[in-house]
Structure 1
Amino acid sequence: MARRYCYNDVAPLIAMVTAVCTNVGVNILFKEATSKGMNQYIFITYSYVVAALVLLPLSFIFPRLFLLGLIGFLAQICAYKGIADSSPTLASAMSNLGPAFTFILAVLFRKIDFTGK
């Protein structure tokens, strides 16, 4: 029973907290690296090389990860361009708006029903 509780409740929470903390750390690292003269495209390339080495075995199991990675790559270029002109605090705050945008899209595409049926 305790193992099921850990897998169902604790593991997703730990994964989400880890993802958010990693995102904030990378935003701060990016701002520091670019303020010292590193090109933003070089930083993105380095981060994707590290991610590719870690996640490459999974792309053979889940082929949709390639498309997700491509979309994430384009989004990260836009995000880092914004961080270069503003602050990592603003970028971290903007990443918290993802669930709100997901909810709005779910309502627009009628994935959430408010009628109570």
Structure 2
Amino acid sequence: MEGCSYYLAMVLVQLIYGGSNILIKFSLAKGLNPIVFVVYRGIRKQRPSLSFSVAAKNFVLALFGTTIHLNVFYAGLAYTSPTVACALSNVLPSLTFLMAVLLGYILCPFLSLA
């Protein structure tokens, strides 16, 4: 049973992902704006003092970080089903590997050894 705990944990994580996608789809169908959902998700309880450096880092993270990913994900979820969202989230590691191979990040170290 000890060897099965990792598999059971992964099944539990996938069920939680699927349940959250279903709940988000219901709230988007009821009229929740995806951008508002991303803003609510990004609110932190403890904030650092606002200096120019912190404001610049927040701007860059909001522009290129998780925010753009979540906005695109929730906008897509508003038009598709939670099943598609779960299926595509499982494809992301393989797509990341293919992009790394195409861009030469994986094979270049191995090619230099030959």
- TM-score tier, shorter chain, comes to 0.5 to 0.7
Q: Flag the 1:18–1:93 CA change in 2: closer, same or farther, 3 A.
A: same
Is residue 108 of structure 2 the alignment partner of residue 111 of structure 1? Answer: no
Give the distance between the partners of 1:102 and 1:87, measured in 2 at CA: 23
Counterpart residue type for residue 86 of structure 1: T
Give the distance between the partners of 1:105 and 1:75, measured in 2 at CA: 17
Specify the alignment match of 1:71 in structure 2. 65
Q: Flag the 1:68–1:99 CA change in 2: closer, same or farther, 3 A.
A: farther
Cα shift at 1:32: 1.0
Specify the alignment match of 1:34 in structure 2. 28
Cα shift at 1:30: 1.1
Which structure has more RCO (C-alpha within 8 Å, separation ≥ 6)? 2
Q: Flag the 1:21–1:45 CA change in 2: closer, same or farther, 3 A.
A: farther
Counterpart residue type for residue 65 of structure 2: I
Cα shift at 1:93: 0.7
Contact between 1:31 and 1:88, CA under 8 Å: does it hold in 2?
yes
The root-mean-square deviation of aligned C-alpha atoms, in Å, is 3.6
Cα shift at 1:76: 0.8
Task: Give the unaligned 5+ runs of structure 1.
Answer: 1-9, 58-64
Q: Flag the 1:100–1:17 CA change in 2: closer, same or farther, 3 A.
A: same
Please give the residue correspondences for 1:78-89 in structure 2 after superposition, counting only pairs within 5 Å: 78-89=72-83
Task: Give the unaligned 5+ runs of structure 2.
Answer: 49-56
TM-score, normalising length from structure 2? 0.60
Give the distance between the partners of 1:71 and 1:48, measured in 2 at CA: 12
Give the distance between the partners of 2:31 and 2:38, measured in 1 at CA: 14
Give the structure with higher Rg (CA): 2
Give the distance between the partners of 2:68 and 2:106, measured in 1 at CA: 29
Give the distance between the partners of 2:74 and 2:104, measured in 1 at CA: 32
**104-113 vs 89-98, which moves further:** 104-113
